């Protein structure tokens, strides 16, 4: 869900999945400013049996304090368990059809729950389509009018949306 948050926006949602045969719920909220630059990230992971975890590096990266040097140029966060965070650079970059851009992101790997710096490329193919690439991986993304991902080629497809 994408909602207003002060002068910016907040992207929030839940993902139900499994790890090592156990159910897991991941809840997230990413706040961006008026230019779509990430200002705050919240991630809570609820494992079967009631264990709750937050990625250890999260506070150091998005607490408003000075970031570790390897993340200084990371304007965006990519939560590896949801394609929703692809919406943020899509909105921030405002690419015209035929344009592309390369960005550095703080990528939260799932299921490891650890951050690493990654370089990603977005190319706008059509009004509602982008080519996303990172390292040797690439996929086509289909988005709605807000830039929310509706389909992530070969991996994910929206089946319902909050109103």
Q: What band does 162 get if pLDDT is binned at 50, 70 and 90?
A: low
Tens-digit pLDDT profile for residues 85-101: 999 999 999 999 999 99
First to last CA, the chain: 8
Q: Is the dihedral of CA 64, 106, 126, 83 positive or negative?
A: negative
The pLDDT of residue 67 is above 80 = no
Query: Do the Cβ atoms of 93 and 130 come closer than 8 Å?
Result: no
Tell me what pLDDT residue 49 has: 77
**What gap in Å lies between CA 122 and CA 90, rounded to an integer?**
8
pTM of the model: 0.91
Residue 60 C-alpha from the chain's centroid: 18
Q: What is the Cα–Cα distance from 113 to 43, expressed in whole angstroms?
A: 10
pLDDT tens digits, one per residue of 90-142: 999 999 999 999 999 999 999 998 999 999 999 999 999 999 999 999 999 99
Q: Output the pLDDT for position 50.
A: 79
Contacts of 72 (CB under 8 A, 6+ apart): none
């Amino acid at each position: 869900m994408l909602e207003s948050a002060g002068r910016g926006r907040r992207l929030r949602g839940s993902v139900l999945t499994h790890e090592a045969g156990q159910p897991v719920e991941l809840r997230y909220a990413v706040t961006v400013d008026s230019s779509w630059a990430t200002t705050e990230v919240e991630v809570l992971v609820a494992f079967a049996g009631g264990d709750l975890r937050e990625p250890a590096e999260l506070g150091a990266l998005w607490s408003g304090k000075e970031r570790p040097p390897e993340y200084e140029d990371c304007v965006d966060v990519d939560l590896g368990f949801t394609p929703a965070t692809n919406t943020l650079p899509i909105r921030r970059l405002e690419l015209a059809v035929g344009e592309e851009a390369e960005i550095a992101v703080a990528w939260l790997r799932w299921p490891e729950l650890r951050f690493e710096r990654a370089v990603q490329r977005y190319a706008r193919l059509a009004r509602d389509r982008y080519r996303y690439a990172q390292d040797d991986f690439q996929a086509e993304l289909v988005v709605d009018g807000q830039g929310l991902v509706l389909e992530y080629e070969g991996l994910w497809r929206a089946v319902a949306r909050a109103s």
